[in-house]
Amino acid sequence: MRSDKEGRSKLDPSLPAELVRFRTFASPFAKAPDEPEVFDHLQGRLRFKDITTFNDPFEARPQHKAAYSNAAEQRDAMVKYLTDIAPITGSKTARRRWAESQVTGQSQEQLVERLAAYAESRDQTGQMFVFCMMAPETVTSPMPWSLYGDSHRGVCIHFDANQLPIGLAFPVEYSDEYPTVLIPRTAQDDWIGVQNVLLRKASSWSFEKEYRVFRLMFADGTARDLFRKWEDNVAIADPKICTGVTLGSCMTPEVRERLVNWIRVNAPHVQIWQAKLHRSKYLLERDRIA
């Protein structure tokens, strides 16, 4: 297994061979045309989205806790942290005086809340862009189709997990409680902090079996490039990173014909499958049609 400078194996054997993503296509309920995003995916153009725009208000919402139970040790850690990030110029002594002035007269709970808010501000953390997918077996599950595939009228796009940036995906973990981020954050391993913000969701979402590739845009304007070229927040991947598409069981014949014809002309390597209702179970089956 080969490691990269992002702290992740390029080709992680624990990943499924493919990951999938459900999208609407030619939906009469879409607020904006939804076909372009599907066409982009089918040609290896993957748009990452700001996690703060997701439809779940619990996203990226960890609980913050003091790193140390001893009040004096916690205060010292906060002063050191504030000294390092002090928004003033001058000597370290001057910055430490400023840091000490920030903690004077405040309870430990107040300090934790204040530093948590400061650490989460975009001026400090930048932005977090995410590309969401699911495990391949969800293609036969009715729930993702109903939620993300326009009530089975949309599509499920299949991606090769041996290609970048899909090969840099991490599984989401599910629980009934918020994950914990320690304050100051320097008391916690950076990767654990990232996991607790970007890769944790409520257990009620576990049916998604979600995987995420994420791109951090730092406050200084730099960003993780994931070994790809970018156009704004669109990663430019090999067009053959998309290996197939499953058409929803309720997609209209007119829309189906238009999409199939487009794929044959513009992405002939993409396999095309048709979803259909299982005859005896609350599941879907698929037939290869191209």
Within this chain, do residues 110 and 139 fall inside the same structural domain, yes or no?
Answer: no
Residue 10 pLDDT class (50, 70, 90 cuts): very low
261 and 250 in one domain?
yes
C-alpha–C-alpha distance, residues 91 and 98, integer Å: 11
Which of 83, 107, 125 is at the close of a domain? 125
Strands (DSSP E) contained in 29-147 are 45-47, 49-50, 63-66, 127-134
272 and 138, same domain (yes or no): yes
Which residue, of 74, 104, 125, is where some domain finishes? 125
| pLDDT for res 68 | 84
The domain containing residue 146 runs over which residues?
A: 18-61+126-288
The answer to whether position 11 is within a domain reads no
Confirm whether 49 is domain-assigned. yes
Same domain, 36 and 78: no
Tell me how far apart the alpha carbons of residues 11 and 241 are, in angstroms, rounded to a whole number: 14
Is residue 205 located within the same domain as residue 217? yes
Exposed / middle / buried, residue 207 (Cβ in 10 Å: 0-12, 13-18, 19+): middle
Residue 194 belongs to some domain of the structure: yes
The reply to whether 6 falls in a domain is: no
Question: With bands split at pLDDT 50, 70 and 90, how would you rate the model's confidence at 120?
Answer: low
Q: Which residue has the higher pLDDT, 220 or 164?
A: 164
Whether 64 shows a pLDDT value over 90: the answer reads: no
Assess whether 50 and 189 both reside in one domain: yes
Neighbours of 216 (CB within 10 A): 15
Q: Do both 116 and 24 map to the same domain? A: no
pLDDT at 7 exceeding the cut of 60 = no
> Where does a domain end: 125, 152, 170?
125
pTM: 0.83
User: In the prediction, which pLDDT does 13 show?
Assistant: 72
* Region 14-19 average pLDDT: 93
Q: How many domains does the chain have?
A: 2
Same domain, 187 and 266: yes
Do 87 and 192 fall into the same domain? no
**12 found inside a domain:** no
Same domain for 130 and 118, yes or no, is: no
